[in-house]
Structure 1
Amino acid sequence: MLMNGPAILYEILQALKDFHQRKERHVIYINKLPLTEEDKHLILDVLREGKVRIILKSNMQKVEWRETGISGVWIGVFFDRDEKPILETIEITDFPMLAACQSEDIEEAIKVLEDRLSSLV
């Protein structure tokens, strides 16, 4: 019996409209909602599979995002150190924000590249 799947899909539709019109990003924390297996299958069947997959591997955790067949709708899965899912999201955005390069990472990259270039001279 479907319970919350259709409501989630309508929330995604509204969030996609808001993102298109006002660039408002939206995150739905899927594993925090009371979804049945039928709800999950419905959501995946409607959204379908996209062409882009992003994998973030850090010492702390692994995160994987995959764009659905609906542009701007990303499914994210955050894993613990044993690679068991601990958080599942649907993000409505042009690019998952956590996957984007962070300011402090760019600062560190500048230092690293400067060091590497100074060793060439």
Structure 2
Amino acid sequence: MQNNGIPVVNVPIGPGSQDEGDMVLDYMKMPSEMASYDLPILPEAEIVAECPQALAVLEILQENLDRYRVGDIAQTIPLVALAEHDLDIINQILGEGEVSITIVGPRVIKVQETVLAGVWRIRAFDASGTLIDDAMEIADIPTLVKTHAFSTQRPLVFDAGALPEGVLNAPSVLVEIQEASHRYKEAAAVGQVSDIAHVINLSLLPFSPQDHGFLTEITGTGPVTMLSRGYGNCRITSTQTEGLWRVQYFNSTDQLILDTLEVTDIPLVACAAQEDLDDSAERLKEIREVLV
């Protein structure tokens, strides 16, 4: 009689059972962190009670937040004369939010959004790095951003007949920028700047490194740089072409995922909306109720 049974073969399985040779496990890098709002650790009410100047600043801040509407003139609260202990309390309560701004000029200005959207901490430093001014401002975007963004602007001029080697698509984009910037300038002259930006998506264009370099050289780099942190980062840089901003989005692994140019007054992604300001007013009210 023949044995027609199926032979059983012992095949090793599990970790270490496969001979991968020179193969190396490769996988997409996972997100490492995400910036998000954390409620600041508030000081004890007894400590705050010993800082009347800090309490007075918070009361003024509340009044300004309650009545401020997007488009209004920004409201400023000076802090440079505040006592050190009171200033420490303000720093602890307001903390740091998602948006930071650097303005380079005769003096360096550092702007940091607080945990209350639309409430900005503005510090100015001289050439030696010494603090010379300190204030809070309630606004959708700080006034200094608007006044300094294109303070170094220059005419957008290039010779289409003498392009550097490797430059192919940048000239057509520059022509589009010229036209959009001219329309923006005309509208601004009569106070009719639209909230709708003219957007050029460079990520969708076959742009070479030479194209990017030539575009940056011709449009220039302005004095304002803004960084908005969230799930990934958004870097916004003014140029030396009136109304033109470079807006770049990075994912949480710091890879560039969207590269755009915007012709507009201020890119909306950097601005606090009215809903954000209303929420900030409510949150400050809750914080003050805990502290007082």
Q: Paired residue for 1:106, among 277, 281, 285?
A: 277
- Please say which of residues 109-118 and 90-99 is displaced more in the overlay: 109-118
Whether the 8 Å contact between 2:232 and 2:251 is mirrored in structure 1 is yes
Matches within 5 A, 1:1-121: 1-22=166-187, 23-24=193-194, 25-58=197-230, 60-121=231-292
Listed as ranges, the gaps of 5+ residues in structure 1 are none
Q: In the TM superposition, what whole-angstrom CA distance separates every residue of 1:28-62 from its partner, at most 9, and x where no partner exists?
A: 1111111122221111110111100000012x121
Task: Report which of the two structures shows the higher radius of gyration computed on alpha carbons.
Answer: 2
- Please say which of residues 8-17 and 68-77 is displaced more in the overlay: 68-77
**Greater share of helix:** 1
Letter in 2 for 1:3: L
Q: In the TM superposition, what whole-angstrom CA distance separates every residue of 1:74-114 from its partner, at most 9, and x where no partner exists?
A: 11110101111100111111111111112332222121111
Count of residue correspondences: 120
State the alpha-carbon separation in 2 of the partners of residues 120 and 44 from structure 1.
50
Letter in 2 for 1:91: E
TM-score for both structures, normalised by structure 1: 0.89
Identity among equivalent pairs (%): 26
State the alpha-carbon separation in 2 of the partners of residues 27 and 9 from structure 1.
13
**Greater share of strand:** 1
Letter in 2 for 1:6: P
Whether the 8 Å contact between 2:247 and 2:260 is mirrored in structure 1 is yes
